[in-house]
Amino acid sequence: MPELPEVETVKRGLLPLIGQRWRHVTVRRADLRRPLDASAFSPWRDATVCAVTRRAKVVALELVRADGARAYLRFHLGMSGRLYFTDPASEWLPHEHLELAFSASVLRFRDPRRFGWCDLLPADDYASWSATLAPEPFSPELTPEWAMRRAGRSSIKAVLLSGRVVVGVGNIYACEALYRAGIAPQRLAATLSAEEWAKLIAAVRAVLEAAIAAGGTSLRDYVTVDGAPGWFQVQLAVYGRAGQPCVRCGTPIERIVQQGRSTWWCPRCQAG
DNA sequence: CGCGCTGCCTGGAAGC
DNA sequence: TGCTTCCAGGCAGCGC
């Protein structure tokens, strides 16, 4: 279930593609979360990968063509998507939907639940899409002032998940960040003070930083592009820990449902 | 427009 | 043990 740290880890694993040329795409299954349109790829054959980037939970290869035109090959891993290098001759595994051949590497996309997608966008369209999104967690644009302007009328948990204040925060890190900041998930976002927002923004950054440093969270099926598991799970303080004692105060962690999603929290440490 | 609910999809776990 | 049901997740689309 990739969130930002997992996608960031995948991004770093794809850096060896820089300098390689994209040669070929093989589609085994096109009905992903968004239908895969391989015909959009063909004008970009032999383009060179000049950068690997990430925006929110999307990882992208920046391609530059001989005529100078640029495009972005975007991947969204959904919740079960994986991207890894493989041998050119290796047999197709179940749920492998896509293969991209580069001059020195072969990349495959596997996604049992097919919540992920892949497309190729001209650089202008990529920039327009990126401009519609809220700031990245580590962006200096993410300030308490910005957050208070964008808070809206929902609970703070819903606002974190919605992406209207900051992108890339999914259910796991929303729960963990609220715990670390000592803020109750049911609080209306509009009632948070500048100080509380500052604390929450710092908490979001801290949990994401720790998760990236650990190579991403692994709940069940997340692995890096090299196939190594990312075991950050042991460090989660509240997520999935209903009934277990809070690591700080011993109060049993509670599970509630907000917007149809589970929230885990400590009613004592997050009394605010 | 903003907000919340629903459906997409599959495999693993829990319940009967 | 074998069947059914539920749940996880991001996000688009819909209705209020």
Q: Write out chain A's pLDDT in tens, 272 residues.
A: 577 888 888 999 999 999 999 999 999 988 888 888 888 899 999 999 999 999 999 999 999 999 999 999 999 998 888 899 998 888 888 889 999 999 999 999 999 888 889 999 999 999 989 988 999 999 999 999 999 999 988 999 999 999 999 999 989 899 999 999 999 999 999 999 999 999 999 999 999 998 888 776 544 444 444 444 444 444 789 988 888 899 999 999 998 989 888 999 999 999 97
Residues A49 and A159 in one domain: no
Residues A8 and A127 in one domain: yes
Res A216: pLDDT? 66
Cβ of A94 near strand B (distance < 7 A): yes
Residue closest to A115 by CA, chosen among A137, A93, A91, A95: A95
CATH number at residue A208: 1.10.8.50
Residues A169 and A87 in one domain: no
Residues A93 and A149 in one domain: no
At A132, the amino acid letter reads T
Res A19: pLDDT? 98
Closest nucleotide C1' to the C-alpha of A262 = C8
Give the bases of strand B that a protein CB approaches within 7 Å: 2-12
CA distances from A60 to A116, A159, A237 (A): 13, 26, 31
Closest nucleotide C1' to the C-alpha of A259 = B4
Residues A90 and A179 in one domain: no
Give the bases of strand C that a protein CB approaches within 7 Å: 7-11
Residues A209 and A261 in one domain: yes
Residues A220 and A172 in one domain: yes
- Its domain, for residue A218, covers 144-265
User: Is residue A188 domain-resident?
Assistant: yes
User: Is residue A272 domain-resident?
Assistant: no
Cβ burial A33-61 (10 Å sphere, 16+ → b, else e): eeebeeeebeebeebbbeebebbbbbbbb
Res A227: pLDDT? 46
Torsion of CA A23, A29, A31, A37, to 10 degrees: 20
Residue at shortest CA–C1' distance from B10: A113
**pLDDT digit string, tens, across residues A88-101:** 888 888 889 999 99
Residues A197 and A253 in one domain: yes
Distance A14 CA to C5 C1' (A): 39
Res A115: pLDDT? 87
Residues A238 and A154 in one domain: yes
Residues A248 and A155 in one domain: yes
Q: Return the active site residues of A.
A: 2-3, 57, 261
Closest nucleotide C1' to the C-alpha of A169 = C10
DSSP class per residue in A226-253: TS-B---GGG-SSTT-TTSBPTTT-PBP
Alpha carbons A193 and A11: distance in angstroms, whole number: 35
Distance A153 CA to B2 C1' (A): 8
User: Is residue A21 domain-resident?
Assistant: yes
Res A1: pLDDT? 58
A52 with A17: CB under 8 angstroms? yes
Counting the structural domains of chain A, the total is 2
Per the listing, tokens 């929110």 go with: A56
Distance A103 CA to C16 C1' (A): 53
Which of these three, A87, A106, A131, is where a domain ends?
A131
Footprint of strand C on the protein (CB under 7 A): A 1, 3, 33, 56-58, 76, 78-80, 113, 115, 161, 163, 170-172, 239, 261-262
Closest nucleotide C1' to the C-alpha of A164 = B2
A22-25 — which CB contacts under 8 Å span 24+ positions?
A22/A46, A22/A47, A22/A48, A22/A49, A22/A61, A22/A63, A22/A73, A22/A100, A22/A101, A22/A102, A23/A101, A23/A102, A23/A103, A24/A99, A24/A100, A24/A101, A25/A98, A25/A99, A25/A100, A25/A101
Distance A32 CA to B9 C1' (A): 10
Residue at shortest CA–C1' distance from B12: A220
Res A211: pLDDT? 85
User: Is residue A93 domain-resident?
Assistant: yes
Residues A40 and A102 in one domain: yes
Percent helix / strand / coil, chain A, rounded to 5: 30, 25, 45
CATH number at residue A71: 3.20.190.10
Residues A64 and A96 in one domain: yes
Which of these three, A74, A98, A131, is where a domain ends?
A131
User: Is residue A69 domain-resident?
Assistant: yes
**Please, how many CA atoms are within 13 Å of residue A194, restricted to the half-sphere of its CB?**
4
Res A161: pLDDT? 92
